[in-house]
A and B are shown apart, each in its own frame.
Chain A
Amino acid sequence: MKRLALVAAVALFALPAVAQSRQTQSAIRGSGTYGTAGCGLGSLAFGNTPGAVQIFAATTNGLFGTQTFGITTGTSNCGPGLFAIGTKNFVEANREALAKDISRGAGEAIGALTVINACEDSSRVGAALQKNFGAIFPSDQVSNDDVTKVILETLHGDATLGCGRG
C-alpha cells in the first residue's frame, strides 16, 4: 500500500510550479490572464494583479511548460524536495479550502495532501493536522511557504502517519 502510494506520489510530483511560473517558450502556449470563466469566454482579464488572484493566472501559464524533472533537486527550501513542491503548489492554489478542511480535520483537501505526501490514512492525517492548526495557520496572513513548511513537518515528522520519506 505504501509502495503504491509512493508510486502515486512520484507520478504526481511533477505538478507545475505555478504562480511563479515564467512565461516560457513552452510547447503549448498559454497566453493571457484568466478570470472568472464563462463558457470559454475567459472573461474580463485580471491583468497583473498580485496575490491570491494568481490562482487564476496560473491556469494559463506554464501549463505544458518546460518543467523538467529537476524538481527532484529540491529547489524549495521547505524540506524534502519531492513532497515539498507538490504540497507547496497545492497550498498556493487551495489555501482557503485547505485551512477550512484542516480546521475540520477532514475533507477533500486532506485527502489530496495524503496522496501528495504518500501517507497511509487520510483520517489520521486529518486528525494530526487539525491538532496542529494553530502552528500551521497562526494567522490569516501567514505565508504559503510557512504553511507548507509546518504541514510537511507535521506529516513527515510523525512516524505513525506513515508518510513517505523525501
Chain B
Amino acid sequence: MTSVAALLVFLTAAAGTADASATPTSTPTATATPLDLGALVARARALHLADDPGWLRLGKWRRTLLGGRESQVDGREFFLAKDGKHDPAAELEATLAGFLDGRPRATELDDPACRFPARLLFLGERLGFDRSRLPPRACPKLDDYLDRVRPKGVTFVFSSYYLNNPASAFGHTLLRLDKTGEARTGKDAELLDYGVDYAATVDTGNALLYAAKGLLGFFKGEFKHYAYYYKVRQYGDYESRDLLEYELELSPGEVALLAAHVWEMGGTFLRYWYLDENCSYHVLAAIEAAAPRLDLLRYVGPRVVLPSETVQALFRNPGLVRAVHYRPSIRTQFEARVRGLDRAEAALVERLESEPGASLPAGLAPDRQAAVLDAAVDLLDLRNARALLMGKDPAAALRRQALLVRRAALPVQSPPLAIADRPELRPENGHRTLRLGAGGGVAREAGAFTQVDLRLALHDLGDPPEGYPPFAQIEFVPLRLRLYTDDRRVELDDVSIVEVTSLSPVNRFDLRPSWRMRAGATTVRDAGCDRCVAGAAELGGGFTAARLLGALDLLALAETELLYSPRLSGTDGRGVRAGLGPSAIARVRAGTAATFLAEARWRWYPAAAPESGYQLTAGVRLHAGRNLSLALEGRRTPEDDEVSATVFGYF
C-alpha cells in the first residue's frame, strides 16, 4: 500500500471525526492547484488553530505557571520550529511549511509528512486540504506500521494491583488497538491485536537508583507497541494479574488519529515521572489527543496519578466505555477450576502436580480426568511460572511435559472455563483515592481532642470495599493530627510516607506469606519518652487465613520495628529503639455496609526501658455509599486509653 493511499484512507476516515467545531472542509477544486503556504498560515491564524485543544493535545503543550506554554515532550526531533517546545503557533506554521516542502529528505523521518501523520490529519481536516495536494512522497515505515496495527477500535486495558513489585503496586494501564470494531466478535484475534503503552526505559539494575530515578524524572519515558499477546502472557500468566478490558466508543476518525498520534509519540521521548506523568497519565493523554471532545486528565492528579483513577476518569465521560470484559489471570482460572472439582479430585490435582504419573481412579470419567489434569497443569504453571520461563527448572519442565502428554491422550476438548465477572474488582466502582477525615474523641489521661485525618492515596483494610482488591492495603502519606483541647497541644498522632500490607490468604494450594511494611513517624505512647514524635520503620511477615466462618479474615505477623528520636530512651539508652514482636489483625466485613477491624500488637524492646509495649485498637467503619464513612475507634496503649469518632470523605 503506498503512502498516499494509506493517508487517503486515513483522511477519509478522519472526515467522520466527531468534532463539532470542525470548519467545513473546502472541496478540492477541479484543478489540483498547489497549496499556498501563506494562505494556509493565514487561515490557521484566523482560526486560532494554535490554541485549539486538538492541536495542543497532539503536541502535549500545557500551561506553565507564568502563563506561557511548554510541551511535555522532551525529544528535540519532535519540534520543527526552533522554540517549538514553547511556541505551539510557531510549531504549527513550521509543520505546514514542512508538509509543503517537497524536497527529498535524507531519511523518511526527516520528512514531516512521514513523521507527523496525526498533525497532517488534524491540519488537513481543519484547513481543508487533502493529502493529494501535498508534494508526493513515500513513507514506507509509516505504511508498515499502519498496516500492522490497522485499528478499527480501541480498548483500554487495566491490569490489577501486584503488590510484589512496587512499580506495579497500583496497577498498570495500556491501550489495545483492535483489528475488529467489536472486540468480542474478533475474540480469537484479540491476542493478535497490538498493545500500546508508555513506560520508562530502565537503564539501571540498582534498586535504589531505580527508585530515585523513577521518582525524580530521570528515566526516559517512551511509547511502545507490541503484540497484545505479550502482555497477556506477562500479566496474566507470569504475574497472575487479572486484566480488565474497557472497550472505548471512539469514531473511526478518532481511532485513526490515535494510531497516528502513537506513531508520532513513538518517535520521541518524554521524561518519566513515577508519581504524576506516568504510564497511566500518558495513556489517558493519548486518548484525549485523539478525541479532543473528551476531558480525561482533569479528573486525575495533579500530584499523584493512579491507574485506578484513570479508569474512573473514563467513566466521567458518559458513553465512552461501551463494554467491559474481564480477562482472569491464571491464578483466578485455577481457582475456578478447583471450585468445579470435588474434594477427592482436588486432592488428585495436588498429587499430580508433583507426580504427573500418579494413577487416576479407574472409575473416573474421561471428562473428569481432563478437568483434573487441566487444573494440575495450571497449578504447576502457577507455582513455577518464572522458573519455567527462564528455563531454570528442568525438573518442572519435565513434569509439565508429562502432564501435557497425559492430557493430550484424552480425546476430550476442554470446555470453556466459566468464570464469573467480578464487578466488585473494577476500579471504576471504587472509592475516590484522596481521603479526608475530621472528628474527635476523648482520652482518659490527655482529655478531649479533635482530629484531622488526611491520606493522599489509596486504600486500607477498613475502607469501603468495592473496586479494590480485598486483601491489599496501600497507603501514600496517611497522616493524623490531633488538637488536644485541655492544653491546646497539637500532636502528630501518626504519619507514613508509605504503608503497604499484602495479605495472601492461605489454602491447600497456596502457602505464600503475607507481609507488611511502613516508613513514617509516630507519637510514642509508652514510657520511652514523653509523647515524643519518633521516626518509625516497620517490617513484618506472617500468614493470613481468610473468610473463616464465612466472614473473618485473620492475619498473624511477626514484626520488627525501629524508632528514632533524640528524646527517646531506646536501646542501651540511645535514641534508637529496636522492637520485635507479634501482631494480629482481625477483620469482619458485613457486605459493603460495614467493616469491623481490630489489631493487637506486642513488642519486646531488648536493652531498653520500658522493656515491652503494646497497642490494641478496635473499631467499626460504617459506609454510606462508596465515598463516605463513619469510623468509631477505640485504642489502648500503656500510657492511655481513648475513643474517637471520625467522618471520612473520599475525593
Contact = CB atoms under 8 A, between A and B. Distances in A.
Interface string A14-34: 111000000001111111101
Contacts of B230: 55-56, 58-59, 93
A133 B408 contact: yes
Nearest to A59: B226
Interface stretch (B88-96, B136-144, B529-537): B136-144
A2 to B, nearest CB: 15
A45 interface: yes
A1 interface: no
A55 B234 CA distance: 9
B267 A27 contact: yes
B407 A104 contact: yes
B201 A42 contact: yes
Interface residues of B, number: 89
B341 to A, nearest CB: 16
A39 B280 contact: yes
Interface stretch (A73-81, A109-117, A143-151, A156-164): A109-117
Interface in B229-288: 229-230, 233-235, 237-239, 263, 266-267, 272, 274, 278-280
Contact of B401 (A28, A44, A137): A137
Given A53-B390, A58-B226, A59-B224, A41 B192 contact: no
A105 to B, nearest CB: 4
Given A53-B389, A111-B188, A105 B412 contact: yes
Nearest to A66: B141
Given A36-B238, A58-B226, A104 B374 contact: yes
A88 B227 CA distance: 14
Contacts of B197: 40
A108 B191 contact: yes
A116 B330 CA distance: 24
Contacts of A43: 165, 167, 202, 210
Of the listed residues B179, B188, B401, B415, the one surrounded by the most CB atoms of chain A closer than 10 A to its CB is B188
B122 interface: no
Contact of B272 (A37, A40, A107, A108): A40
Contacts, number: 235
A72 B389 CA distance: 31
A130 B108 CA distance: 47
Given A68-B140, A97-B237, A111-B188, A42 B199 contact: yes
A49 to B, nearest CB: 8
A116 B87 CA distance: 47
B198 A64 contact: no
Contact of A15 (B107, B166, B227): B227
A121 B377 CA distance: 26
A127 B140 CA distance: 41
A16 B144 CA distance: 10
Nearest to B180: A8
Contacts of A96: 233, 237, 381, 388-389
B274 A41 contact: yes
A155 interface: no
A133 B404 contact: yes
A127 B150 CA distance: 31
B109 A15 contact: no
A165 to B, nearest CB: 20
Contacts of B398: 140
Given A38-B166, A52-B390, A27 B145 contact: yes
A123 B413 contact: yes
Nearest to A110: B188
Contacts of B27: none
B189 interface: yes
**Of residues A30, A42, A134, which shows the largest number of chain B Cβ atoms within 10 Å of its Cβ?**
A42
User: For B166, B200, B220, which residue has the most chain A Cβ atoms within 10 angstroms?
Assistant: B200
B225 interface: yes
B413 A36 contact: no
B414 A64 contact: no
Interface stretch (B168-176, B314-322, B345-353, B591-599): B168-176
Given A11-B179, A52-B390, A112 B192 contact: yes
A97 B192 CA distance: 14
A85 interface: no
Given A64-B263, A102-B408, A103-B404, A37 B188 contact: no
Contact of A106 (B144, B207, B224, B413): B413
Interface of A: 8, 11-12, 14-16, 25-32, 34, 36-45, 47, 49, 51-53, 55-56, 58-60, 63-69, 89-90, 93-94, 96-97, 99-100, 102-109, 111-112, 114-116, 122-123, 126-127, 130-131, 133-134, 137, 139-140
20 contacts: A12-B189, A14-B148, A15-B192, A25-B107, A27-B109, A37-B199, A38-B165, A39-B172, A41-B202, A43-B165, A45-B204, A45-B205, A55-B234, A66-B141, A100-B377, A100-B404, A105-B408, A112-B188, A133-B404, A139-B401
Given A27-B266, A106-B413, 12 more contacts: A28-B267, A30-B222, A38-B165, A39-B167, A55-B230, A93-B233, A94-B233, A96-B381, A106-B414, A111-B189, A112-B192, A115-B188
Q: Which 7 A-B pairs have the closest CB atoms?
A: A38-B167, A111-B188, A40-B279, A28-B266, A133-B408, A41-B167, A105-B413
